[in-house]
Chain A
Amino acid sequence: MKKRQKKNGGSPMDPLRQSPSRSSSRASSPRTLPCEMLGYVGIEAVLDQLKIKAMKMGFEFNIMVVGQSGLGKSTMVNTLFKSKMWKSTMPGLGVPTPQTLQLQSVTHVIEESGVKLKLTVTDTPGFGDQINNDKCWDPILGYINEQYEHYLQEEILITRQRHIPDTRVHCCVYFVPPTGHWLRPLDIEFLQRLCRTVNVVPVIARADSLTIEEREAFRHRIQENLKTHGIEVYPQKCFDEDINDKILNSKIRERIPFAVVGADREHIVNGRCVLGRKTKWGIIEVENMAHCEFPLLRDLLIRSHLQDLKDITHNVHYENYRIFRLNESHVLPRGPGWVNLAPAPASVPAPAGPQANPSPPKVGGWAKDNSDEEC
């Protein structure tokens, strides 16, 4: 797995981190002058040690897929991780869409070349399927905040576990239906609310119904929409650390949202066995860049930015939540409980803004959705 070198040395990987590095690459650190090496010391072996420890501990990744039913969410997850996480159903079969939004989580441990990944996928069947979809994003926001709350409760204990189980959602993939026109009002409402709480990666679902020109036009319109409404999707511009990151991420930002196609059936094309969809006029190969942008999505989520997604979730989104909760409780007695947080109410109200915070979070203000004024 590719590791991105951070400026201040040593990528903060999950299993090794005892305390959240709040003073991570985001804040300024004292400049240290590089020193000339007189011989080989063997410092670089640290990387190997990290690697060995990581392989022992394994990794965790939590992903959430959101979108209307039938946009290929389950198939996409199966395609991404090349395993049957979910049973993807055909239109006629399977359970009918539920009347209200329900969240379903499935956890699997998958292994590749000795590296273990504990993958949790949360699905949201029933999103946007009803006649009245007002406030259908509430359960999703509630779930995400619940996971933050769990982590917070574990973190403030006196005797903490060595490794706090991380159930926070690291990435939310939002499936936009391929209408070819603009983002729908529902998409905008949802994205506006969620991009402040979690890393959101929008994708154009079922892109095999759009030609290349239509895809480009649609992509431009969506990018315009996102800009107009102030929606910052992953990779967020404000978190680019150095010039390399900027270059890499700008390339990605140009192509967001990716036009993806998912498939979990294999077909023979030119002697090779590929994942694809077979129609009467051709076979759509999922891994072929000329057909769809699935490889880009896979690379982003798994091969290059998985650790970055987790870092941003931990350093930014979780911190925002924590600050809000601490401010809200107003009580910091020293005693058996160390921090006595008021129990999180069922519907968390909008915060007044984290003012008493020395290092302001990059994302200004974490807001819950109950604010109709924001739209």
Chain B
Amino acid sequence: MDKEYVGFAALPNQLHRKSVKKGFDFTLMVAGESGLGKSTLINSLFLTNLYEDRQVPEARARLTQTLTIERRGVEIEEGGVKVKLTLVDTPGFGDSVDCSGCWLPVVRFIEEQFEQYLRDESGLNRKNIQDSRVHCCLYFISPFGRGLRPLDVAFLRAVHEKVNIIPVIGKADALMPKETQALKQKIREQLQEEEINIYQFPDCDSDEDEDFKRQDAEMKESIPFAVVGSCEVVRDGGTRPVRGRCYSWGTVEVENPHHCDFLNLRRMLVQTHLQDLKEVTHDLLYEGYRARCLQSLARPGARDRASRSKLSRQSATEIPLPMLPLADTEKLIREKDEELRRMQEMLEKMQAQMQQNQAQGEQSDAL
């Protein structure tokens, strides 16, 4: 055995094994006007039918409906890795005649998740913190507009400091190639003008190979992603079956990089940057929220003072957290979780006992 070989090169494998056992959880929010293909895209991305029993309400119902926040959870497993995906949907966004303030429930929801995590983190039992923070928000922009609409700008400005935003152009098969380029350019300009911070892809390391760098640069340039979603498989004129949309003038293939940016979005969201999104949420956005929250609690007038740096070094233990009442449903969920765990343990014990009894019985038979 090599004397210089210590053995910690195997550490990544250990991490890998642990993560596989633990599983990942990821919360994704989709927002945008109705009719932009959000549900279809989510179904295409994760190859599930999350929206099976969905009924789109007609206009009369929508006249009085306010924005609601819906959460759907699904467990996806692939290659032994389990992902617990939570999807947050915002039906009713941008639907009514007067949409003033329709983004406020969304902002409140995101902040509530941060608040929940903050309380859990500062609590006593930190073993099973459920991370329900929103890690990423896919914002759908209409391909029919001339860039961002006033409503889009208002929503993005309200949430850009609180969640990772990935802008997406929905139903991109309505656009010709030149139109797509022009629209993307316009949206990028508008985002810069309005100083909206969307999720920035981390630069790839300098020691990556040229191919990877090129791919990465291409991906960055195609933001906002112009996507087309479909769960139907079409036979494309004799060649292999592909997922796509069949028109009388041709077939749009969802996974064809020349047709739309679906592959880029999937690669970025699921394959390469899932963990990074979570980290940015935790390190940047959550910490920002936490700092703001604690600062405002410690000294209500603190923002006016110049000694902000001193304040940020104050530790959280010195600042008393007010006991805000937990939502009842959250409590119930916690209790049920605990019960489930206890019952599982009991079951295991009983199983073990049964096995023991069986083994003993066999022994006594044999004798």
Contacts and interface: CB of A to CB of B under 8 A. Distances in A.
Contacts of B175: 279
A178 interface: yes
B95 A177 contact: no
Given A91-B183, A134-B98, A279-B173, A181 B146 contact: no
Nearest to B228: A209
Nearest to A207: B174
Contacts of B33: 179
B176 interface: yes
Interface string B237-261: 0000000011111111100001100
B45 interface: no
Interface in B294-348: none
A131 B150 contact: yes
A185 B149 contact: no
B60 A228 contact: yes
B100 interface: yes
Interface string A295-330: 000000000000000000000000000000000000
Contacts of A183: 58-59
Given A70-B142, A90-B182, A221-B58, A211 B245 contact: yes
Task: Describe A's contact surface by its main secondary structure.
Answer: loop
Given A181-B35, A185-B63, A129 B95 contact: no
Query: Chain B interface: which size bin?
Result: 35 or more
Contacts, number: 137
B62 interface: yes
Contacts of A221: 58
A279 B63 CA distance: 37
Q: How large is the interface on A (under 10, 10 to 19, 20 to 34, 35 or more residues)?
A: 35 or more
Given A90-B178, A132-B99, A209-B174, A97 B146 contact: yes
A285 B179 CA distance: 17
Nearest to A212: B248
B222 interface: no
A182 B59 contact: yes
Contacts of A211: 245-247
A225 interface: yes
B40 to A, nearest CB: 10
Interface string B132-169: 00000000001111110111001000000000000000
Contacts of A282: 247, 249-251
A279 B36 CA distance: 19
A228 B60 CA distance: 10
Given A69-B145, A91-B179, A132-B100, A184 B95 contact: yes
5 contacts: A133-B97, A181-B35, A209-B143, A279-B176, A282-B249
